[in-house]
Structure 1
Amino acid sequence: AASSTVCVFGQMALFDLCRELYNAGYKLVNANTDGIAFIDPCPDNPIRYDRSYDVIWHEWEEKWGLYLELDTFAKWYQKDVNNYVAVYPDGKIKVKGQDVNKYHFIPEKGQHKLFSNNNLRIVHIALVEAIVYGKNPVDVLSEHMQEPELFQYVLRAGRTYQGVFDKHDNEMQRINRVFACRKPEISTKLYKKRADGGLVNFPDAPENMYVYNGDLKDFKDFGKIADFNHYLRIIRKKLDSWGVVVL
């Protein structure tokens, strides 16, 4: 009950902030439990509104006993309330949502931040770079062909399953790293086996899989084995859902 009360209180407070900003002439583009995103239609006009957003902001804090932080972005790209890409004035990128949340480029190091979960991360990278820079996904895939960790699927079976088995009923590890494979003669398919012996597909996994559980630094044939068209199809489908067209 206490958590519900806090949730309702927060929603009421944010709704009040949305109303004040809207009535002052600001265009609201996103509102969720984390905060509000709005656009200033005329940022260079010193006499913009009867009440500027910073006045509304501090009045709201005093009224509700809550405190806000302000982020300013030069560009804002949004699929829906839970998926967006925002670009700071200095060019750094902030992402949120299951489509893009594995994109974290560190400009000063010229590299992507390492993740404990790199599952299908190349899709997130290609999606963000297409949205922000208009980069062709084919070029993104080509640039990262020597980084197999970005293309991996990590497939695992929980303790309620007997384990993971391949299409020939050979038992595999409980956690496996697989890649979309372009060569049917060396590909396989992994399944989760239920307690009753029934097989369950891994959702969204490639039909033709190449299993590689060794050190990825030793995966020398990745470029010859991986089916890059598989990843490209996923990226283009995601871009279509964002309403982005890349030539």
Structure 2
Amino acid sequence: MLFYDFEVFANDWLVVIADTDNQSEKVFVNNEQALIDYYHEHKNDIWIGYNSRHYDQFILKAIICGFTPQAINEWIIIDHQPGWKFYKDFWKIQLYNFDVMTNKFRSLKQLEGFQGHDIRETSVSFNISRELAEEEIEEVIKYCRHDVHETMHIFMETITEFESQVELLKMFNLPLRNISKTKAQLSAFILDAKQPAVPRDDEFDFTFPDTLQINKYTEVLDFYKENKDYNKVLELNVAGVPHLFAWGGLHGARNNYYSEGYFLNIDVESYYPALMIEYDYLSRNVKDPAKFREVRDTRLKYKAAKDKRQAPLKIVINGTYGAMKDKYNGLYDPLMANNVCIGGMTLLLDLIEKLEPHCEIIQSNTDGVLVKLRHYDDYDLIDDICYEWEQRTRMGLEFDEFVKVIQKDVNNYILVDAEGNYKSKGAYVKKLNPLDYDLPIVNEAVVNYFVKGIDPEETIFNCTELVKFQKIVKISSKYSHARYGTRRMNEKVFRVFASIDENDKQLCKVKDGVAEKIAYVPERCFIENGDIKDMKVPGKLDYWWYWTLANKRIDDFLGEDK
């Protein structure tokens, strides 16, 4: 495997390539022929990069095809055009490219920052119009090498993505070139889905499931029958809970809800794939719909046996619905996507309607409902109601029991079970990981308070790891630069900490000469963009800023305005 990263300037370009097979490195600077020769030696290897699907692979292909890196760089970066449109024969260049970028809204520098790694950037500006000096080239190589190594770190953190994709190719005997495809593209390829020669014009000719039984909330059915506008939504009180019905699912929750008792989280198993199978809502572009059922059934068998082979099949199953709404995908079929979405919402409303007289509805979402039992003895009654719904709709339900619910709104909640384990969702309380590690001490303080009854002051003031107090800030392209006090900053990504030192300043973002505040950045902060993995908290850290923020978030959950 090769990990690679390109840097392109007005009159120079370079690429750093790390070969993991023999633990060697190659650097090419303004030497097209040497790079082309290297490519031919390694054209059967897998080339791995960050955002390489949209950028680096096209720089390489452009060089191979005789174009300048500057031309394709300008096409992608300045003109905001997709690389594949630059030259019609790019697809003929064999390149097994795998992109480790899993979130298009996160830059490589942000992910480096979350991990506590060095995020300092080269001082060599990409706006330099002259040829770079030798020392400038060396500095760019140093930082490019750093990014290649960071890409390797991210690859290891997300290696299951790669392993699943490789296993999928093996399962279906697909050529290695398919390693470059997105999950949605792979789903279409495996299901042999191709769009019709003449586009259909029936996007809103959807039908409700023939098993649907809604007697009380019929205005929801009327809303979808009469509405052909994706921007319209229906707000409705369902079972005492404010609900929103739209074209992407239903959502409803009791805001600022905090209670203990007997709770059941009722989820529909593999809901959207099941709807596609049982109600013939699969994309009409699929050559053999039975193959989709076969893939789903095989995955469920593997999942029950705790067989790792379930993971690659999940790519096909879960990628299909999204692909049905992508007009560039072979699975594109907006009518069937609407059938799945509306069918899923209305069948879930059907279940809520049946449950409503016998329990308290706490929350509902796209594929499930959370209820509170009036008495634990009501479990069998609820189970019977759910069983009738399952038999009638041909869907399957999964139950999870909880004893405490803390809910800010539909997108932010904590569910705690009898053993003290918890499930959470939302920016305030989500479980963090090395590639999503922003203000971790605040998340920890909020969760500890609600789950374990620990005072936020104890969690925050007893922590000595600096990385837990980090706030990673990215200045978007909408802004010209960042400003720290009165000093213009050239970097785009910063790691900031609240400070009690009066010599420290505020970090702002600047647009059209006007400075704007950055969310969750304290009025006085210090910046540490070096590696901080093993650093301890310095004396100037403002613990109280984090304590105040944690308490505000706790109040937000409880609906208390202080």
SS at match of 1:131: helix
1:229 aligns with 2:229: no
Q: Partner of 1:27 in structure 2?
A: 360
Q: Select which of 10, 30, 45 maps to 2:344.
A: 10
Q: Select which of 484, 488, 497 maps to 1:179.
A: 497
Q: Select which of 399, 408, 413 maps to 1:70.
A: 399
Give the conservation status (yes or no) of the 8 Å contact 2:467–2:533: no
User: What TM-score, normalized to structure 1?
Assistant: 0.82
Give the conservation status (yes or no) of the 8 Å contact 2:498–2:526: yes
Report the alpha carbon displacement of residue 138 of structure 1 after superposing the two structures with TM. Answer: 0.6
Could you tell me how far apart the structure 2 residues matched to 1:149 and 1:17 are? Answer: 45
1:135 aligns with 2:454: yes
Give the conservation status (yes or no) of the 8 Å contact 2:475–2:509: yes
Q: 1:163-217 CA distances to partner (integer Å, 9 max, x unpaired)?
A: 32322233242101000111111x12222233x3333321231111110011113
Q: Partner of 1:199 in structure 2?
A: 515
SS at match of 2:371: strand
User: Aligned-residue CA RMSD in angstroms?
Assistant: 2.2
Give the conservation status (yes or no) of the 8 Å contact 2:467–2:535: no
Q: Partner of 2:420 in structure 1?
A: 91
Please show how residues 138-149 of structure 1 align to structure 2 within 5 Å: 138-144=457-463, 146-149=464-467
Q: Select which of 177, 202, 211 maps to 2:527.
A: 211
**Higher RCO, 1 or 2 (CA under 8 Å, sep at least 6)?**
2
Report the alpha carbon displacement of residue 68 of structure 1 after superposing the two structures with TM. Answer: 2.4
1:166 aligns with 2:484: yes
Q: Partner of 1:107 in structure 2?
A: none
Give the conservation status (yes or no) of the 8 Å contact 1:156–1:164: no
Could you tell me how far apart the structure 2 residues matched to 1:219 and 1:98 are? Answer: 25
Letter in 2 for 1:130: Y
Give the conservation status (yes or no) of the 8 Å contact 2:470–2:497: yes
User: What TM-score, normalized to structure 2?
Assistant: 0.38
Letter in 2 for 1:119: D
Letter in 2 for 1:21: L
SS at match of 1:60: helix
Structure 1 residues not aligned, in runs of 5+: 105-113
Q: 1:59-108 CA distances to partner (integer Å, 9 max, x unpaired)?
A: 2223233332221112222222222111123321111122211x36xxxx
Could you tell me how far apart the structure 1 residues matched to 2:471 and 2:479 are? Answer: 19
Q: 1:106-141 CA distances to partner (integer Å, 9 max, x unpaired)?
A: xxxxxxxx3312111211111111112221111010
Q: Partner of 2:179 in structure 1?
A: none
Could you tell me how far apart the structure 2 residues matched to 1:18 and 1:169 are? Answer: 57
Q: Partner of 1:42 in structure 2?
A: 375
Q: Which has the larger radius of gyration?
A: 2
Letter in 1 for 2:470: Q
Letter in 1 for 2:556: S
Report the alpha carbon displacement of residue 219 of structure 1 after superposing the two structures with TM. Answer: 3.3
Give the conservation status (yes or no) of the 8 Å contact 2:412–2:428: yes
Structure 2 residues not aligned, in runs of 5+: 1-202, 204-334
Give the conservation status (yes or no) of the 8 Å contact 2:481–2:488: no
Letter in 1 for 2:473: L
What is the number of residues matched between the two proteins?
Answer: 226
Could you tell me how far apart the structure 2 residues matched to 1:153 and 1:89 are? Answer: 34
Give the conservation status (yes or no) of the 8 Å contact 2:498–2:541: yes
Could you tell me how far apart the structure 1 residues matched to 2:513 and 2:408 are? Answer: 41
Letter in 2 for 1:82: N
Change (3 A) 1:218 1:170: farther
Could you tell me how far apart the structure 2 residues matched to 1:184 and 1:68 are? Answer: 58
Q: Partner of 1:100 in structure 2?
A: 429
Give the conservation status (yes or no) of the 8 Å contact 1:83–1:98: yes
Q: Partner of 1:242 in structure 2?
A: 557
Q: Partner of 1:110 in structure 2?
A: none
SS at match of 2:346: helix
SS at match of 1:205: coil
1:57 aligns with 2:386: yes
Which structure shows the bigger proportion of residues in helix conformation?
2
Q: Partner of 1:108 in structure 2?
A: none
